[in-house]
Structure 1
Amino acid sequence: MLGGNVEAVRGANFRILPGKVTALVGESGSGKSAISQAIMGILPTVAKVGGRVLFNDTAAGAKPVDLLSLETDGSEIQEIRGARISKIFQEPMTSLSPLHTIGNQISEVLKIHTDADKAERRARTEELLGYVGFGNPKRAYDMYPFELSGGMRQRAMIAMALICRPALLIADEPTTALDVTVQAQILQLLRELQSKLNMAMLLITHDLGVVANMADEVVVIYHGDIVEAGPVDAIFRNPQHPYLKGLMAAVPHFDMKPGERLKALREVPVKAGTLLGTQHVKKAAGPDVLVSVRNLCKTFSTRSSGWFGSGTTSRHRAVDDVSFDIRRGECLGLVGESGCGKTTVSKILMRAVTPDQGSVTFDDGEGAVDVLKLDGAELKALRSKIQMVFQDPVSSLSPRMTVKNILSEPLEIHGRGDPKSRVETVRSLLQAVGLDQRFINRYPHSFSGGQRQRIGIARALALVPQLLICDEPVSALDVSVQAQILNLLKDLQKELGLTMLFISHNLAVVDYMADRIAVMCSGRIVELAPREVLMRNPVHPYTKSLLAAVPYPDLDRKLDFDALQASGCSDQRQWGAQFSDGGEENALFPADLGGGHYVLARKSADARELRP
């Protein structure tokens, strides 16, 4: 195996001012994280670094020091790292120890850098946990990371980074994997803390909406080179470099005109006509509704640990009386926060999860079938007609299989063709999703995130399905790669006549992809409407809160943090009487507002009063 040097960063020059937020913007692999690791002194041992990183910690009365001149494991850098310079990592689940409580991990920083005793460390940790948004800090202190949601884990990471009141905070993609509402809360929290502590911040991100709402200065990096830098106002209102202009054009936004395409930095040539069975799918006749879902319910039971199976059991209603239709040839968007039941619904449609009650009817023109009652050969036949694109392209592709094996596996399972014809189909699939046929014998690890997601899409298309379920297919991707995948899916839908269920928590992405949108909260669909109606005239408070929490890459449309509900928009107490569940006598039901617009409200509420 040949090796060589990779120049991750070349001659990078920029500043981080005291009390200001500097955003470092670029795609994955551009060198953002390498710069942050160099500042912290945590680069891998094989890395060679030159230049200077001058840290001028005037607040602590220290002299300016070149961080690169210090020994990476010496006492001088250890006094700075964690105390005067702290970092919030991108993925809190992998950066927090699963074997220690949140409180232990945060107070450990105080133990290393201060002389505080155990009682004082606990008191200061609980105080900060309360400040970053934990409702019961004493209880949170003794909780483990797996007991917290993604947003709460990220808050714990923020508390750990801020416990020593650092002069510089490095936030590496702090909100990438979070819901839009949780993201807004984290951004508000970071802004408040940064202002209160007069702390400098290096915000590493590829989300231009976050940059517009947080940054004072912006540094744009491309393949290790800084291509543009300046005040946020100049960067957004008068971008100069073609790469920055391309990044801005690749972001989906709510002001896009009908038929307008995202401008991906690198377009993917789509040749869906090479796929076998294309003409069959486009000409397939059948009823207007392909999938009809009625009154789905699913409850999960969890038991707290105890000896020999003892302990208390709690039940969680993940899906609660969900009904909707997916029309032939349309893209239905399903949006909501993490834990609202979106993925559970998709697994029920795929027969990966069995519901407690309800029905799912599939009718592709060959007769309506009850999906939940199929078994054996009938179920196998149905699964060839419904396929899924998963959220994480890394974990959903086997690392031990080549691209040829991955893409031919569905054909082998369902007995399609002979070995020679399957290889030809695999080549056609690669061509259809814009991948070079020379990649056929490569393994997944040799591809980028966007390329792996295209392989996942190709695998889902191998059997030429009638319904494609996309579960957060772009949430883990850069803005530029995201534009590629979204355009690819739209092109494939148009050329193949696909019907799609598109699941996401990013409303701008769903706005670009969907014809109709269903909004889900706490296991229930609270609003369902055509895309343009829902985006312009949302009725339900939850939908309004979701839309209000989306950060725009526009300096004139900044987030109104004061208007966002601090308790989270899924809190029904904030909704108002007509939208809150008040028992059986005031049960919620879908009120028809006309034009295919439905909103969940009390039976006693007048649908006319619910209009915007």
Structure 2
Amino acid sequence: MNLGVDLLRIEDVGISFAIVGGPLHAVRRANLRVLPGKVTALVGESGSGKSVLSQAVMGILPNTARVRGRILFSDPEKPGTTQDILQMPRDGPEIRALRGSRIGKIFQEPMTSLSPLHTVGNQVSESLQIHTPMARAERKARAEDMLDLVGFPNPKRAYDMYPFELSGGLRQRAMIAMALICRPALLIADEPTTALDVTIQAQILQLLRGLQAKLNMAMLLITHDLGVVANVADEVVVMYHGEIMEAGPVEAIFRRPGHPYLKGLMAAVPHFDLKPGERLKALREVPVNVGNLLGKQTAPASKGPDDIVLSVRDLTKTFTIRKSGWFGGDHQTSVRAVDGVSFDIRRGECLGLVGESGSGKTTVSKILMRAVTPSGGSVIFNGRDGPIDVLEAEGDALRMLRAKIQMVFQDPVSSLSPRMTVENILSEPLEIHQRGNAASRLATVKSLMQAIGLDPRFIKRYPHSFSGGQRQRIGIARALALGPELLICDEPVSALDVSVQAQILNLLKDLQKELGLTYLFISHNLAVVDYMADRIAVMCGGRIVELAPREILLRKPVHPYTRSLVAAVPFPDLDRPMDFKTLKLDSASDTSTWGPQFRDEGDEDMLSPLELGGGHLVLARRTADVSELRH
């Protein structure tokens, strides 16, 4: 293979870290290439060595790292010359001339990668200041052009804004502008869309593809999302435990996967073609043992479709924002986060709640948990011991309610106390509700550990010694400790790898079946909701715009917002590429792009839920033609 052909060539690279007890080998004998103007995707689970390899290319590995091998970079602006990045002095002039100028990088978490003390324009133009002898006015003009190119609606205004004033999607765009301002030959994108909504992810992918073609730039895309890979990559490299298992063109990898690990990764991804009752195939199955778990505390069996566990009616929540000027003149603005939300959850079912960030999903869950007081509406919980008014409950009724409704949080790291052992974490709810004595509580903790597939011997460990998936299982066990009837799961798998996500989803399904649990499952990943939910409610702007059984909603969506969400899901299938041309990405929640029958024009003809048959409701004008909506 001609060396001049490859923009980046990694040869026999091994990376190890010096730790107590001998070296930790993060990468072993890695070989891969990135061709000019092409996208190479580096795929693997957390801990497989992907990010460490990208740090070696950028020359930003920590001092404790030991690296061997060669990383050859052939700059198209210097034909015939190839530089070995590993031979360059650490932080010397050669590597600094490459970093940020010829090789750019987008980091995973835009909030921690951007300085909170500097404006966006200041940070974007910093690379130009370091690498080019430009006048200040010219730098500013270039930075504004780049902000325009990455899709900022008002680049001149954005130049003077701070990162905290931007949404997650715009912060990620600012990161992309910083990485591309010097027109690098190679862009390293480390999980650039992991923390984003499905519609914003589609925008960022479309943007990266467009920029990559426009600037004739090569890209090393690090991700664990095979849907993203199928839509963007030209070549794929699969990593597992620091070793490269398989590499080749995207066609060959997806149509004829050879390595069992890659086949396992593909089988672990939830997709819309799963048959009812079909399970995800996790790489490492978690044995679920609920035989001896809270045997008498399982929820009662459902008495049919009219057996409602939770009834929510006309829920509203308005937040008041106070802005004060230098010279007094305070003025208040109010934001309606939840606007007339009504739904029922039937006993034993899983209701999915879907929507972009800011649509009001989490506010609804906090109201149900009594963490936020609503401005209006009613919530009735029909438990085993009779109905309880959730919003009015006090004293014993509230204590009972706290045991009946439990929550599994999004981030398994911040929702578990780092100062408590697993035993303390799992026994705390039992102590608060005065259940049993010390011996019976210990027995319950051990049976909870077995139920979620963790060894009971680990109960003296602290959360930091577990992986992300294991921590999320501990969070689920804590929620189950009091034998609840309703579990509210707020994005429980969004922070996890595909393979670990499959474990957690299968665990939740098994627990639901064995314990007769009822779920409210909140997520922005439609494929995950499709796998978990029986019925799905779609939220936009604080309202439920569509509600239907899952097989109807995801295959025949009626509301334009739901259609945009479904169209933005990247499939891990080369025959179903994302249709970037027809995607109204900038305007999924922009009501002006919706049909007139879905818009609230502020007149008498108000929007209300219209019944389309089969439990399918859509928010539309009262005068809208139902038969027309169905088509």
Matched residue count: 612
1:119 Cα deviation after fit: 1.1
Would the alpha carbon gap of residues 275 and 370 (structure 1) be closer, same or farther in structure 2, given more than 3 Å must change?
same
Counterpart amino acid of residue 317 in structure 1? R
Q: Are 1:553 and 2:572 counterparts?
A: yes
2:203 alignment counterpart: 185
Q: Show the counterpart of 2:249.
A: 231
Is residue 517–residue 528 contact of structure 1 (8 Å, CA) maintained in 2? yes
Question: What is the letter of the counterpart of residue 167 of structure 2?
Answer: S
Whether the 8 Å CA contact 1:303–1:314 is kept in 2: the answer is yes
Q: How far apart, in 2, do the equivalents of 1:452 and 1:129 lie? A: 39
Letter in 2 for 1:6: L
Q: Distance in 1 between matches of 2:296 and 2:466?
A: 27
Distance 1:273 1:279, change over 3 A: farther
Conserved? CA contact 1:517–1:529, under 8 Å: yes
CA contact (8 A) 2:298 2:516 kept: no
Separation (CA, whole Å) in 2 of partners of 1:429 and 1:310: 56
| Alpha-carbon shift at residue 4 of structure 1 (Å) | 2.7
1:62 CA drift (Å): 7.1
Question: CA-to-partner distance for each residue in 1:123-181, whole Å, 9 max, x for gaps?
Answer: 11111111111111111111111111111100000000000000000000000010000
The structure-2 alpha-carbon separation of the partners of 1:60 and 1:522, relative to structure 1 and needing over 3 Å to count, comes to: farther
Q: Distance in 1 between matches of 2:187 and 2:329?
A: 45
1:267 paired residue number = 285
Pick the structure with more strand per residue.
Answer: 2
Shift of 1:604: 2.0
**2-side partners of 1:31 and 1:333: how far apart?**
34
Q: What are the Cα deviations for residues 287-316 of structure 1, in whole angstroms up to 9, with x where unaligned? A: 700000000011112233544975443221
Q: Does 1:320 find its partner at 2:339?
A: yes
Match of 2:368 in 1: 349
Q: Which residue of 1 aligns with 2:540?
A: 521
Matches within 5 A, 1:403-482: 403-482=422-501
- State the distance in 1 between where 2:534 and 2:301 align: 21
| Aligned counterparts of 1:79 and 1:61: Cα–Cα separation in 2 | 17
CA distance in 2 between counterparts of 1:429 and 1:174 reads 36
Structure 2 residue aligned with 1:166, among 184, 198, 209? Answer: 184
1:272 is displaced (CA, Å) by 1.6
Q: Which residue matches 1:572?
A: 591
- Which range moves more in the overlay, 477-486 or 111-120? 111-120
Work out the CA distance in 1 between the residues paired with 2:269 and 2:132. 45
Secondary structure of the equivalent of 2:628?
A: helix
Structure 1 counterpart of 2:618, one-letter code: V
Note if 1:335 corresponds to 2:333: no
CA distance in structure 2 between the aligned counterparts of 1:147 and 1:380, rounded to whole angstroms: 40
Q: Does 1:368 align with 2:387?
A: yes
Structure 1 residue 560: deviation in Å?
A: 0.5
* Aligned partners of 2:302 and 2:347 also within 8 Å: no
SS of match in other structure, 2:569? coil
Tell me which of 104, 108, 112 is aligned to 1:90. 108
Q: 2:28 is matched with which residue?
A: 10
4+ long deviations beyond 3 Å:
277-280, 282-287, 304-312
2:627 to 589, 608, 611: 608
Moved more, 15-24 or 133-142: 133-142
Q: Could you tell me which amino acid in structure 2 is paired with residue 67 of structure 1? A: I
The within-5 A match list for 1:17-166 is 17-61=35-79, 63-166=81-184
What amino acid does structure 1 have at the position aligned with 2:319?
Answer: F
The aligned residue for residue 13 of structure 2 is none
Q: How does 1:377-392 map to 2 (within 5 A)?
A: 377-392=396-411
- Partner secondary structure for residue 176 of structure 2: helix
Residue 469 of structure 1 aligns with an amino acid whose one-letter code is: I
Q: 1: CA distance between counterparts of 2:80 and 2:319?
A: 56
Q: CA deviation at 1:476?
A: 0.6
How far apart, CA to CA, are the structure 1 residues paired with 2:411 and 2:74? Answer: 41
- Following superposition, the deviation at residue 279 of structure 1 comes to 5.4
Q: Distance in 1 between matches of 2:430 and 2:72?
A: 58
Length-normalised TM-score, structure 1: 0.98
- Following TM superposition, by how much is the alpha carbon of 1:402 offset from its aligned partner in structure 2, in angstroms? 0.4
Identify if the C-alpha distance between structure 1 residues 365 and 279 changes in structure 2 by more than 3 Å, giving closer, same or farther: closer
One-letter code aligned to 2:380: T
Paired residue for 1:398?
417
Q: Distance in 2 between matches of 1:155 and 1:467?
A: 39
Q: Which amino acid aligns with 2:400?
A: A
What SS does structure 1 have at the residue aligned with 2:299? helix
Which residue identity lines up with residue 584 of structure 2 in the other structure? Q
Q: 1:221 to 1:280 in 2, by over 3 A?
A: closer
Q: Deviations over 1:347-405 (max 9, x none)?
A: 00000001000000111142222111112232121011000000000000000000000
How far does residue 587 in structure 1 lie from its aligned partner after superposition?
Answer: 1.3
- 2:265 corresponds to 1:241: no
**Corresponding residue number in structure 1 for 2:7:** none
> Can you give the 5+ residue segments of structure 1 that lack an aligned partner in the other structure?
none
**How many Å separate the matches in 1 of 2:157 and 2:525?**
32
Using the alignment, how far apart are the partners of 1:266 and 1:434 within structure 2?
Answer: 11
Distance, in Å, in 2 between the alignment partners of 1:508 and 1:283 is 28
Equivalent position amino acid for 1:151 in 2: G
SS in 1 for 2:475: helix
TM-score (norm 2): 0.95
Shift of 1:466: 0.5
Q: Distance in 2 between matches of 1:462 and 1:235?
A: 44
CA distance in 2, matches of 1:105, 1:304: 27
| RMSD between superposed Cα atoms in Å | 1.4
Q: What is the one-letter code of the residue matched to 2:385?
A: E
Give 2:224's aligned residue. Answer: 206
In 1, Cα distance between equivalents of 2:550 and 2:574:
25
Bigger shift: residues 533-542 or 27-36: 533-542
Change (3 A) 1:235 1:577: same
| CA displacement at 1:527 relative to structure 2 | 0.3
Shift of 1:269: 0.1
Contact kept? 1:274, 1:431, Cα under 8 Å: no
